[in-house]
Chain A
Amino acid sequence: MKVSILDDYHDTLRTLDAFKKLAGHEVTVWNEHVQDTDALAQRLKDAEALVLIRERTKIRAPLLERLPKLRLISQRSIFPHIDVDACTRLGVVLSSNTSFGRPSYATAELTWGLVIAAVRDIPLQMESLKAGRWQAGVGNTLRGKTLGIFGYGRIGAVVAGYGKAFGMKVLVWAREPSQARARADGYAVASSKAAFFGECDVISLHLRLIDATRGIVTAGDLARMKATALIVNTSRAPLIEPGALVNALRAGRPGKAAVDVFEEEPLRDTGHPLLNMPNVVCTPHLGYVTREDHEIAFAEIFDQINAYVAGKPINVVNPDALAIARQ
C-alpha cells in the first residue's frame, strides 16, 4: 500500500524496530506539521493508508472528501480529531486500539519529572547558572507533603505509587468506582472536591477528556489551593476551565504550575502567558514522546495496516465502513 505518515517531527519512526513491519509498502513520511486542508489534500493525494501520531492533525470531512484513494487510517488511542462519521460514509476504515492494558509509563514519568522540576525550579536554576549567577532561590522538599491525584485510572495509579516512593501522603479524588480502586490500593480519598483542592501540596490531573470532564477543574477549585501548592497537567488542557489557570496563577493560588498540554497544539505563540511566567514549567506535549512508547504504539499501528492488507482488519472503530470499503 501507499502509506503516508504525518507529523513525525524528528523523523523518528524510520529508526524504530517496528518500522520493519512496513517493509513492502511504499512509505512517505511528513515531518513538518500543517493543518491547512489544501496542503494536506496535496500531501495525501496518493495515500491509501494514513498513519496519524496521536491528535497532532485534525482529519475532518472537507479533507477526507478530497482523498479518493484513502482506504485506511491507522492510529492509536482516542480520536476526537477524526470525523469518524465522514470516514464511514466515504468507506475509510479507522483502526485504533483504545483498550490497551498497559498504562503510559512515559506520561507518568514525565509527570514526575515536572513535579520535581517545578518544586525545585530547575529550569530557572539552570538559566541562572548559565547566566553566571549561581543559585536563583530555595525550593521545596516533597517528603511529608500531600500529593493529590485527580482521576485514578492507569496513569494516576502509577503516579500515586511514585508519590508513595517519595514519602508523600497520597490523596485521591475521582469518580466513585475509581475511588474504590484507590482505597483498595491503600490510598486515602478526599472527603470532597473542595477539601481535595484545599489540602494538597501537589495536584496532578489524570482524567480522560470527555464531555463530563471538560472544565472539571474550575476557577473556584484553583482558588482553594494553597499559595505554596503546585498543579500539574499532563492530561489535556481543556480539563481546566478556559483561562482559569492563568488567572489563578496571577492571583497566587496555586503558586506554581507545570503544564505539558495546551488548548492549541502545536503551540507556537511565544507570547502565551504560561510560557512567560517564572512560576510555570512548560513542555511541548512530551508525555507519550519516548522511543520505548513509540515502539509499542507503532508496532500496533503498523500491524493494523498489515492486517487490513491481509483482508482481516483489526481494532476497527467503524465496522460499517467495511461494507462500503474502497478497493
Chain B
Amino acid sequence: MVTAALQYGHMPNVICTPHLGYVTRDEYEVQFADIFDQIVACAAGAPINVVNPEVLKNARQ
C-alpha cells in the first residue's frame, strides 16, 4: 500500500477514498448472505455457484 502523501503529494484538487465503493453494511448483507449460503450448500453436499465443476470429481473429503 502506497500512502496518498507519497503517490499524489497532497494535491488539493484530488479527492481520495480508500476503495469504499462496495463498502456498505447493506452491500455486505447481500454479498455475505450469498457467500455463506455457498458454504452451507457445500456442507450439505450440493455446492452452488461452482466456478470449476471438474474439481468435484476429486473433491477433498
Contact = CB atoms under 8 A, between A and B. Distances in A.
Interface of A: 119-120, 122, 125-126, 128-130, 132, 134-136, 138-141, 143-144
B26 A141 contact: yes
B3 interface: yes
B23 A139 contact: yes
Contacts of B56: none
Given A125-B20, A129-B4, A130-B5, A138 B15 contact: no
B18 interface: yes
B26 A122 contact: no
B6 to A, nearest CB: 9
16 contacts: A119-B24, A122-B20, A126-B15, A128-B18, A129-B18, A130-B3, A130-B5, A132-B1, A132-B5, A135-B19, A138-B24, A138-B28, A139-B24, A140-B24, A140-B25, A141-B27
Contacts of A143: 26
What 4 A-B pairs are tightest by C-beta distance, nearest first?
A141-B26, A129-B18, A141-B24, A132-B3
A135 B23 contact: yes
A130 B20 contact: no
B12 to A, nearest CB: 12
Nearest to B29: A141
Per DSSP, are chain B's interface residues mostly helix, strand or loop, or mixed?
loop
Contacts of B3: 130, 132
A119 B16 CA distance: 17
Interface of B: 1, 3-5, 15-20, 23-28
Most buried by A among B3, B20, B25, B28: B20
Contacts of A139: 20, 23-25
B4 A120 contact: no
Contacts of B4: 129-130
Nearest to A228: B25
Given A130-B4, A130-B5, A138 B23 contact: yes
A136 B24 CA distance: 12
Contacts of B28: 138
Contact of B17 (A125, A132, A138, A144): A125
A134 B1 contact: yes
Nearest to A119: B24
A139 B20 CA distance: 8
B19 to A, nearest CB: 7
B24 A134 contact: no
B16 to A, nearest CB: 6
Given A132-B3, A134-B1, A126 B25 contact: no
A144 B24 CA distance: 13
A139 B1 CA distance: 22
Contacts of B5: 130, 132
